[in-house]
Chain A
Amino acid sequence: MGDHHHGPATGIGRWLFTTNHKDIGTMYLWFSFAMFILGGTFAMIIRAELFQPGMQLVEPGFFNQMTTLHGLVMVFGAIMPSFVGLANWLIPMMIGAPDMALPRMNNWSFWILPPGFLMLASTLFMEGGAPAFGWTFYAPLSTTYAAPSVTFFIFAIHILGVSSIMGSINIIATVMNMRAPGMTYMKMPLFVWTWLITAFLLVAVMPVLAGAVTMMLMDIHFGTSFFSAAGGGDPVLFQHIFWFFGHPEVYIIILPAFGVVSQIIPAFSRKPLFGYASMVYATASIAFLSFIVWAHHMYTVGMPVAGELFFMYATMLIAVPTGVKVFNWITTMWRGALSFETPMLFCIGFLVLFTIGGFTGLMLSIAPADFQYHDTYFVVAHFHYVMVAGAVFSMTAAVYYWLPKWSGRMYNETMGKVHFWISFVGFNITFFPQHFVGLAGMPRRIPDYALQFADFNMMSSIGAFIYGASQILFLYNVLATIIAGEKVTDDKVWDGAEGLEWTIPTPAPYHTFEVPPKLDAAHA
């Protein structure tokens, strides 16, 4: 190990003790995919139960555990770590840095995640079952009426919060201090920009989540009454604190997705991104607005009319910077030399479906209308359009786009396109009917439902099984690529791709940019 230019260590030690941003990125990506499959399994159980009205397969209590764990695992285990993995792989390569600023902390922030989720998953086997109070864990369901396993849940949330905070501090420190000479802020690729802003959001709100679960812990074990009306507290306070974290959290999930799409659409349009500066400012505006709109999640909880109006107008305002982004992507494609490889297909799917999710978000932002939509399947349809078709589609696009650079092998394009179309069709069959049953009054988080919702629920379930199965194809395609894909040797895998990560050899060597790159005219 004395030689400075050594390659990866051998055996399990390579992964346990690695400080290499590419290794850590890979581990994050595989971990998040494993969590995606786990959370997806929970979703399949939910949809199987809802396939027909009446109690079919599972007990109502277990159904509640499934909805809760599905949400928690997907948000904290699948989507967030997947984008952290992407950031680890790409940010140093995009800004011309040799590694992350804090490589050892990087190792630690990954390696505390698997035990955290192991603990969360282990609650399924505990007496009283896993958390069953929904991923939003509203008090007093999560305090007074929770199963004893809630304490393990709180510890798990603390662990993954610490992991997220360490990860984001690392990203900010890297972006602020390790850019190659000449790489000014306004020359950074948009993925780096969106992650920089996301990391600031994480540093600001993950401690708030930690505060919320700490209060729960104290209420449960140490006799405080933060959320207990009997002791002078207030359960509604929990909702305010949770959503003060929760709303920035949804932008933490979607902003890196915006960054990915802003990298991929120009590459397959063979044009520079339209409106780069406005993209940066729009991202910053969305981040700012995310702090002043939290109570639109709780219009029905009892607020002064002035409060409802403030949160309604502030929420509607978010449509402006988001619209700037959507129009910029469309304008980037306008009169471009378009080609439709798998990453581009997923990005266009993202664009169409995320916009639908954005519009249903606008519908939900209208306070008087929200009284009708609140806690119905309409909300479920809305947030799956932005979380799955938004974050997961863009993450899938990112894997197809950068996998040849990472592995030096090209994925099977036909299989990729088949994966896209099955995903696209399956996703829409799953979630589009949920708009209808939601508007007709079907509440979310119920194991049984009124007969008139039967047909749409059966459609939803069939779509979910199709979408779930398509992810097995994705896994197969990725594995087949890594093991036996066609070798790629071009530095620039995609002819339209721009950025420093396409100037290094393919596959990306273990160490890159040990000497800072000179930015040529194209990047300067």
Chain B
Amino acid sequence: MRLSANPTTDTVLKLATVSVAMFAFVFVVMVPLYNVLCDALGINGKTSAQAYTAVDAAVDTERSITVQFIATNNDGMPWEFRPQVTAMAVHPGAANDTVFLRLTQRLSIWLLRPSQVFRLLAQQNTSTRRNVFVSTSSRSREKVIR
């Protein structure tokens, strides 16, 4: 289709039409299409027209899952860090507690060479605040042995 007898004008008119159409495309195609897709796929908060109703979480006693715990400790560290139990059988949905042990620095110091003691003392301010704990439940925070 020729929009103009002059081939250059023809090209320019067609391209100008394309760019105007692409500008319109953003508003009249992309926005509605995005909403349709989010509705269809149930994502980005556009789950349905109805308000979300919470369902109570229940413990599934039918199923049992084994959760294993592991801790690695760099050889250079002046303390020991390990899980108290290495495996637990749990039911989905249930809260369980476990404890990771860290041998205190006072105990460890006796195992150190003098040069390491100095380094440890220098680091003490920061390292004492870095008690790492891992648990299946946040409630176990208090139970970590310090």
Q: Please give the residue numbers on chain A whose beta carbons come within 8 Å of chain B beta carbons, in ascending order.
A: 101-102, 165, 168-169, 172-173, 176-178, 203-208, 210-212, 215, 226, 229, 234, 236-237, 240-241, 244, 302-304, 307
Residues on B with C-beta less than 8 A from A207 are: 19-23, 25-26
Q: A234-B44, A304-B43 are in contact. Are A208 and B22 (CB under 8 A)?
A: yes
A174 to chain B, nearest CB (A): 8
Assess whether B30 is interfacial by the CB under 8 Å rule.
Answer: yes
Contact B12 A102 (CB under 8 A): yes
Q: A204-B18, A207-B20 are in contact. Are A173 and B11 (CB under 8 A)?
A: yes
A177 to chain B, nearest CB (A): 5
Assess whether B110 is interfacial by the CB under 8 Å rule.
Answer: no
Assess whether B120 is interfacial by the CB under 8 Å rule.
Answer: no
Residues on A with C-beta less than 8 A from B27 are: 211, 215
| Count of CB-CB pairs between chains A and B under 8 Å | 78
Residues on B with C-beta less than 8 A from A234 are: 34-35, 38, 44-46
A306 to chain B, nearest CB (A): 9
Residue of A165, A168, A307 ringed by the most chain B CB atoms within 10 A: A165
Contact of B15 among A169, A241, A244 (CB under 8 A): A169
- B:26-41 near A, CB below 8 Å: 26-27, 30-31, 34-35, 38, 41
A517 CA to B31 CA, complexed, in Å = 50
26 residue pairs from A and B, CB less than 8 Å apart: A101-B8, A101-B12, A169-B15, A169-B16, A173-B8, A173-B15, A176-B7, A177-B7, A203-B15, A204-B18, A204-B19, A204-B22, A207-B21, A207-B23, A207-B26, A208-B23, A208-B25, A208-B30, A210-B23, A211-B22, A211-B23, A229-B45, A234-B34, A234-B35, A302-B44, A304-B41
Q: A172-B11, A240-B34 are in contact. Are A303 and B26 (CB under 8 A)?
A: no
Q: A234-B45, A240-B34, A241-B30 are in contact. Are A102 and B23 (CB under 8 A)?
A: no
A152 CA to B44 CA, complexed, in Å = 31
B16 to chain A, nearest CB (A): 7
A208 CA to B23 CA, complexed, in Å = 6
A249 CA to B129 CA, complexed, in Å = 48
Q: A234-B38, A302-B43, A304-B43 are in contact. Are A203 and B26 (CB under 8 A)?
A: no
Contact B11 A176 (CB under 8 A): yes
Residue of A whose beta carbon sits closest to that of B40: A304
Secondary structure of the B side of the interface?
A: helix
Residues on A with C-beta less than 8 A from B31 are: 226, 237
**Residue tally, chain B, CB below 8 Å to A:** 25
A204 CA to B26 CA, complexed, in Å = 11
Contact B44 A211 (CB under 8 A): no
Q: Please give the residue numbers on chain B whose beta carbons come within 8 Å of chain A beta carbons, in ascending order.
A: 7-8, 11-12, 15-16, 18-23, 25-27, 30-31, 34-35, 38, 41, 43-46
Residues on B with C-beta less than 8 A from A307 are: 41
Contact A244 B19 (CB under 8 A): no
Contact of A244 among B16, B20, B30 (CB under 8 A): B30
Residues on B with C-beta less than 8 A from A229 are: 45
Residues on B with C-beta less than 8 A from A302 are: 43-44
A470 CA to B139 CA, complexed, in Å = 58
Contact A177 B8 (CB under 8 A): yes
Residue of A whose beta carbon sits closest to that of B7: A177
Contact of B26 among A165, A178, A241 (CB under 8 A): A241
Residues on B with C-beta less than 8 A from A215 are: 26-27
Contact B15 A172 (CB under 8 A): yes
B73 to chain A, nearest CB (A): 18
A102 CA to B8 CA, complexed, in Å = 9
A244 CA to B41 CA, complexed, in Å = 20
Residues on A with C-beta less than 8 A from B12 are: 101-102, 169, 173
A207 CA to B30 CA, complexed, in Å = 13
Residues on A with C-beta less than 8 A from B43 are: 302-304
A216 to chain B, nearest CB (A): 12
Residues on B with C-beta less than 8 A from A206 are: 19
B38 to chain A, nearest CB (A): 7
Residue of A whose beta carbon sits closest to that of B33: A240
